[in-house]
Structure 1
Amino acid sequence: MSRKLERKMLRLLAGGGPVALGAGSASFRRLARLTLLAEQFGYAYADLRQGGTSFTLYLVPDLRPRARELAAENWSRYPRAAEGGPLPATDLDTYALLRARMLSDLERRYRKEVLWLISVPLVLVALDFGGDFGDGWHSVLTIAAVAWAGAVVLLLPFHVWGRRTARKSAALLEAAGFTRVPDGNGRLRHVPPGDEERPGPGVAGGRR
């Protein structure tokens, strides 16, 4: 994992407030490692969003007593963590759950955005195709509609894969005791047991 991204995150965590970390095109495993490292310093996963090919990882302070104790212990034990010093060890035992949460948070919005972005150029290509082979507007629109419909059919596997992934993620999270609740924007999300009141990324926009 990029040490530079780790150090950047730790500098933000040192501010003590909610954090929005631009993680570029990091893999889910890298994002999970970042989250697990943040947990060592008193933070918890809040959300993951995607714009184009870049991810933004949202983290919020974990106010549970044990989390605060762990944070104080690690900041004391690793005082130069944000400047290139040693870091506490992390493991990926909870990787499957973190990945499921991230996929669940991304899936609906990401699938809609991708379908929209793909559909617009498909319409333009279909109209151009119809213009090349059609004779008159009626013919052009008919050929364009058929071409567009055929292209949309090719996107159905992506749609099916997205829904299947969402179902698997939801089943894994619910089996682990996660609850599906609406956030401040009405978006349904899975949160850990007893975590329904934790603030969402709406308050996690500040970079410190």
Structure 2
Amino acid sequence: MGKRHIRKMLRRMGSGEPVRATTALGTTKGLARLAFYAEQFGYQYANAHQLGNKYVIRVVPASGTAARARAAENWMRYPGAAQGGALPPLDDGAVAVLNARISFELATRFTEKQMLGLTVFGFTGVAIGPWIKFGLLVGGSLWAVLMALIPVLLVANRRYRARNAALLEGAGFTAVTEPDGRPRYLPPAAGRPE
């Protein structure tokens, strides 16, 4: 992740308003690094979502006294951070927790039923081309193989979510269910976004 994205986000944070940010590749690790730097300068991670083919995070101003003190100290120590100066060193542990949180939220944006429907629809669409070009035997065989992969993909997604959930619970995060039924993890009470 380039420092250009960090500096752009830091300049936008000067408005005091919520900020959306993404990286060139939009990886969860890159987004976690952005969220880490936002938290060093008075903001906190709020949520992640997909916009087109990129992932985007939303950071909001932090309201806690510890967050304000950390921001004031970092702005004093790194006054040119938004314009090309030095940045605070990365804390790999904090980035790992943010990465787990972002990954969990992106992995749970659809329920299992929705994921099943989207996967069946997508795999059917993939099999239509070979069916038209090579006939029913090839297209049907491809479709059957793709359908056989669905349970494997669902189990892999459950394990991925469970691994991230375990990391978050170990860091003191609390599992909650949004009104729309989507599970999320909120940080310990002192760092919860409003």
Cα distance, 1:93 vs structure 2: 1.9
Q: In structure 1, what residue type is equivalent to 2:177?
A: P
Counterpart residue number, 2:60: 60
> Is 1:132 aligned to residue 135 of structure 2?
yes
- Contact 1:10/1:82 (CA < 8 Å) preserved in 2? yes
Counterpart residue number, 1:43: 43
2:126 partner SS: helix
Counterpart residue number, 1:31: 31
Normalised by the size of structure 2, how large is the TM-score?
A: 0.80
Normalised by the size of structure 1, how large is the TM-score?
A: 0.76
Q: In structure 2, what residue type is equivalent to 1:59?
A: V
Q: In structure 2, what residue type is equivalent to 1:132?
A: G
> CA 1:189–1:45 in 2, change beyond 3 Å: closer, same or farther?
same
2:189 partner SS: coil
> Is 1:159 aligned to residue 154 of structure 2?
yes
Q: Which runs of 5+ in 2 are unaligned?
A: none
RMSD: 3.0
Q: Percent identity?
A: 36
Distance 1:187 1:94 in 2: 24
User: Which deviates further from its counterpart, 11-20 or 30-39?
Assistant: 30-39
Q: In structure 1, what residue type is equivalent to 2:155?
A: V
- Contact 1:177/1:193 (CA < 8 Å) preserved in 2? yes
Task: Show structure 1 runs of 4+ deviating over 4 A.
Answer: 143-147
Counterpart residue number, 1:139: none
Cα distance, 1:177 vs structure 2: 2.2
Q: Which runs of 5+ in 1 are unaligned?
A: 135-142, 200-208
- Contact 2:36/2:98 (CA < 8 Å) preserved in 1? no
Distance 1:151 1:26 in 2: 27
> CA 1:154–1:41 in 2, change beyond 3 Å: closer, same or farther?
same
Aligned residues: 190
> Which is bigger in relative contact order (C-alpha 8 A, separation at least 6)?
1
Counterpart residue number, 1:122: 126
Counterpart residue number, 1:204: none
Q: In structure 2, what residue type is equivalent to 1:105?
A: E
Pair member with larger Rg = 1
1:109 partner SS: coil
Q: In structure 1, what residue type is equivalent to 2:132?
A: D
Pick aligned residue for 2:188 from 189, 193, 198: 193
> Is 1:88 aligned to residue 88 of structure 2?
yes
Counterpart residue number, 2:13: 13
User: Which deviates further from its counterpart, 100-109 or 87-96?
Assistant: 87-96
Distance 1:68 1:120 in 2: 52
Counterpart residue number, 1:202: none
